[in-house]
Amino acid sequence: MTTPNIAELLPHSGNMVLLDELLSCDAESLIARATVRPCPFSLLDGSLPPWLGLELLAQGVGAWAGWQARQAGEPVKLGFLLGTRRYECHVDAFAADTVLTISVRRAMQDALGMGAFECELSRDGILLAQARLNVYQPADASAYTQEPTPN
């Protein structure tokens, strides 16, 4: 299978896709690249706030899940970031035009869609941020995204 455009692996669209390129992916891990560009979360100088590292890492997990779905001949599905036990960011902001490497590795995943991933964000081999993300990908995400019909 040829390497897909990373946007095809995520249920995001437009400038909400923060990742640029899939570098590698296998049954347990993914490595992707992202260049810091203007997006709805950019600071005035074009940089990204440190908390946005969580979204970059979560999109790495989402792209990993999208890759797994495509390998199984299934559609890409919506998943949810439940939280993190720890997020350590070693920079005040991610500078504009910086090329970032996003690495995610599955630590655990159960049959009901709950999972945990060890994640790192780096630049030229220098660790900028890290987290253990807790995620959930239900069989039917619409049960969580559709508003009930009013009575």
pLDDT in tens, 7-34: 999 988 778 899 999 999 999 999 999 9
Of residues 85 and 41, more confidently modeled: 41
66-73's contacts with Cβ under 8 Å and 24+ in sequence apart are 66/8, 66/9, 66/10, 66/11, 67/4, 67/9, 67/22, 67/25, 67/30, 68/27, 70/1, 70/4, 70/8, 70/9, 71/1
Strand order from edge to edge, sheet including 80-89: 21-25, 29-35, 99-109, 114-123, 126-136, 80-89
3-state class of 71 per DSSP? helix
d(CA 129, CA 140): 32
Residue closest to 123 by CA, chosen among 48, 72, 28: 48
pLDDT at 139 > cutoff 90: no
In this prediction the pTM is: 0.92
How confident is residue 2, by pLDDT bands cut at 50, 70 and 90?
A: low
Residue closest to 117 by CA, chosen among 130, 102, 132, 127: 132
| CA distances (Å), origin 51, targets 34, 37, 133, 135 | 16, 16, 13, 17
Q: Across the strands, what pairs with 103?
A: 31, 120
Q: Which helix (H) or strand (E) holds 69?
A: helix 52-71
pLDDT, position 13: 78
pLDDT at 1 > cutoff 60: no
